[in-house]
Chain A
Amino acid sequence: MQYKSLDVLENVMVAENIYKLTLKGEYEVKPGQFFMLKSWEDEPILSRPFSIYDKGEDYISFLYEVKGKGTEKLSRLKKEDKVKVLGPLGNGMDVSRIKGKVALIGGGIGIAPLAYFAKKIEADVDIYFGFRDEVYGIENLRNKELFITTKSGRVGYKGYVTDIFNPFDYNLVITCGPLVMMNKVKRICEKTATPLYLLMESKMACGIGACLVCACKTKDGMRRVCKDGPIFKGEEVVLDA
């Protein structure tokens, strides 16, 4: 874990309210890990957590949705601006150990970390990404099995990813997105006892496991999304959605 000031290489809008931020830096990371980012001095006071969307030898990138003050400030970043970066943080997953066929199921901005899983997993991968209307974050997935759904029917299947996903075909499922979607995926996987991992999202203050504001309810009590997660086994998480 390091705390550095990195240069912005690129910050582009890729869909309505969705931006891709690329920073210059060399890191060793695992899919599912995240960084705390801050491009401002006084307000807001806290950094914001973002999972790794893509990484190359000398860059790291994040896909984010503008939702509040922090992401609004990030969206205004220009080339060569500085961003304070703490990370990599969180457990992440050693994907080299994965055997058999994998399904990645993402919804909305939750597809961001899964795009990096797709890039790093060497096993056979099928990708199910669901969006409301506009599709984004698939530029690195051109040669993969990709199933797109949109609620509006604008692209791909009209409906939800959980309408078309069949757990029978997979040895492992990894999901990230709205709680309602993840809960549905969890229930589908439970029927066939298909191993499942959930990538949990939470507001955070410290990002390193000290403040306990990013609690995830599990069968073993409250766990920290930032330190014990963000990846949790499907059977351990208690979803209230």
Chain B
Amino acid sequence: MLEITLWGKKFKNPVIAASGTFGFGREYNELYDVSVLGGIATKGLTLKKREGNEGERCYETAGGMLNSVGLQNPGIDYFIENELTFMKSLNTVIIANLSGGSIEEYVKGAEKLDKSDVDIIELNISCPNVKEGGMNFGIKSKVAREVVREVRKVVEKPLVVKLSPNAEDIVDMAVSCVEEGADGISLVNTFKAMAIDIYKRKPVFKNVFAGLSGPSIKPIALRMVYEVSKAVDVPVIGLGGIRDYKDAIEFMMAGASLVQVGTANFINPFACIEIVKGMENFLKVQGINSIGEIIGIV
């Protein structure tokens, strides 16, 4: 009923744990059997190990949270050698989230992941371009195009590009990525935001800006998923503030074939499996035979 096949991969259901909120699946697997999920997107991976940011990394806001973890991760080689075997044993679709600071770094990382056992590569273009003054690759379509084009050349596996909501024009961004060979689009990543400590008269975060996620971004994320789904002919993965099955259904009605659940895992550690169960019951009660029937019906 919830099963869906995309890019030749069978998803038990459309619910995927979002990158950066689920580690490599180990921690949540201690709480429940994560193999019931449709898929798991890994913590953002870079070619080399990264220690991440110093100072505050988390700040709660009304209906959401700001994070400034800074892509802390053990590096792609370590991931392939020490985490991937475990992840593959979980019997769910494994999506490697690839991040980078330069096109060369993205390409080298993509080559390694493409040779590994991951099922899908999700290209995170919401990373600062170290060589171009730190502007995020995901802001200008022209810049994103270059990354996708170069990565596509070395990737045979399904390639999904994860968009930043901070893109100048989200629809043009999505269309550009598809034109450069993206097999799918996931959106949205976190919103660029900030907070100020009024007693210290300073930004809360050392980097000044941080990424906003959680229920408060949902209506904007939903609008973007709706617009992008209408504009591209590849599958769309919707995310941004999904907290329960109703939110997930909304994203699918807006055009998403799959959804990702991120911050909700922190709000309720069982969020992902509750959403799977809730979607199943919703379909039953509504007399819908297959989840495919509601994708993009709005």
Residues of A that sit less than 8 Å from B by CB = 1, 3, 42-46, 86, 203-206, 208-215, 217, 221-222, 227
Chain B interface size band reads 20 to 34
Q: Do B23 and A45 have beta carbons less than 8 Å apart?
A: no
Q: Which residue of B lies closest to A206 (CB)?
A: B266
Q: Do A203 and B269 have beta carbons less than 8 Å apart?
A: no
Q: Do A205 and B65 have beta carbons less than 8 Å apart?
A: yes
0 or 1 for each of B106-119: is its CB under 8 Å from A? (1 = yes) = 00000000000000
The answer to whether the Cβ of B67 comes within 8 Å of any Cβ in the partner chain is yes
Q: Do A45 and B69 have beta carbons less than 8 Å apart?
A: no
Q: B51-59, B147-155, B161-169, B282-290: which lies at the A interface?
A: B51-59
Can you give 6 A-B contacts (C-beta < 8 A)? A45-B64, A208-B30, A208-B31, A210-B22, A210-B27, A212-B20
A227-B65 in contact given A45-B263, A211-B21, A211-B266 (Cβ < 8 Å)? no
Q: Do A210 and B21 have beta carbons less than 8 Å apart?
A: yes
CB contact between B28 and one of A42, A45, A203, A210 (< 8 Å): that residue? A210
A227-B27 in contact given A212-B69, A215-B72 (Cβ < 8 Å)? yes
Q: Do B54 and A86 have beta carbons less than 8 Å apart?
A: no
CB contact between A222 and one of B27, B64, B67, B72 (< 8 Å): that residue? B72
Q: Do A45 and B67 have beta carbons less than 8 Å apart?
A: no
A208-B28 in contact given A45-B214, A45-B267, A215-B57 (Cβ < 8 Å)? yes
Complex interface residues of chain B between 192 and 214 (CB less than 8 A to chain A): 214
Chain A residues with CB under 8 A of B56: 203
Chain A residues with CB under 8 A of B269: 3, 86, 206, 208
Q: Do A210 and B265 have beta carbons less than 8 Å apart?
A: yes
Main SS class of interface, B: loop
Distance of B103 from chain A, by nearest CB (Å): 26
Q: Which residue of A lies closest to B59 (CB)?
A: A203
Chain A residues with CB under 8 A of B69: 211-213, 215
Q: Which residue of B lies closest to A205 (CB)?
A: B266
Complex interface residues of chain B between 13 and 64 (CB less than 8 A to chain A): 20-23, 26-28, 30-31, 43, 49, 51-52, 54, 56-60, 62-64
Q: Do A45 and B63 have beta carbons less than 8 Å apart?
A: yes
CB contact between B57 and one of A46, A86, A213 (< 8 Å): that residue? A213
Q: Do B27 and A45 have beta carbons less than 8 Å apart?
A: no
Cα of A203 to Cα of B204 in the assembled complex, Å: 13
Chain B residues with CB under 8 A of A208: 27-28, 30-31, 269
CB contact between A212 and one of B49, B52, B65 (< 8 Å): that residue? B52
Cα of A46 to Cα of B49 in the assembled complex, Å: 29
Q: Which residue of A lies closest to B54 (CB)?
A: A217
Chain B residues with CB under 8 A of A45: 60, 63-65, 214-215, 263, 266-267
The answer to whether the Cβ of B270 comes within 8 Å of any Cβ in the partner chain is yes
Known contacts A206-B266, A211-B266, A212-B57, then 13 further A-B pairs from the complex at CB < 8 Å, ordered by chain A residue: A1-B30, A3-B269, A44-B60, A46-B266, A205-B58, A205-B65, A205-B266, A208-B269, A209-B26, A210-B21, A210-B22, A211-B67, A221-B49
Q: Which residue of B lies closest to A44 (CB)?
A: B60
Q: Which residue of A lies closest to B24 (CB)?
A: A210
Chain A residues with CB under 8 A of B62: 43
Q: Which residue of A lies closest to B64 (CB)?
A: A45
Q: Do A43 and B63 have beta carbons less than 8 Å apart?
A: yes
CB contact between B51 and one of A42, A204, A206, A222 (< 8 Å): that residue? A222
Distance of A240 from chain B, by nearest CB (Å): 8
Cα of A44 to Cα of B266 in the assembled complex, Å: 12
Cα of A215 to Cα of B71 in the assembled complex, Å: 12
Cα of A217 to Cα of B52 in the assembled complex, Å: 10
Q: Do B63 and A211 have beta carbons less than 8 Å apart?
A: no
Chain B residues with CB under 8 A of A203: 56-59
A206-B265 in contact given A215-B57, A222-B52 (Cβ < 8 Å)? yes
Distance of A168 from chain B, by nearest CB (Å): 35
Q: Which residue of B lies closest to A227 (CB)?
A: B27
Q: Which residue of B lies closest to A36 (CB)?
A: B269
Q: Do B31 and A46 have beta carbons less than 8 Å apart?
A: no
Chain B residues with CB under 8 A of A213: 57-58, 67, 69
Q: Which residue of B lies closest to A222 (CB)?
A: B51
Q: Which residue of A lies closest to B62 (CB)?
A: A43
Query: Which residue of A206, A209, A227 has the most chain B CB atoms within 10 A of its CB atom?
Result: A206
A210-B65 in contact given A45-B214, A221-B51, A222-B51 (Cβ < 8 Å)? no
Q: Do B214 and A3 have beta carbons less than 8 Å apart?
A: no
Cα of A23 to Cα of B126 in the assembled complex, Å: 43
Q: Do A211 and B20 have beta carbons less than 8 Å apart?
A: yes
Distance of A107 from chain B, by nearest CB (Å): 21
Distance of A1 from chain B, by nearest CB (Å): 6
Cα of A206 to Cα of B59 in the assembled complex, Å: 13
Query: Which residue of A46, A211, A213, A227 has the most chain B CB atoms within 10 A of its CB atom?
Result: A211
Chain B residues with CB under 8 A of A212: 20, 23, 43, 52, 57, 69, 72
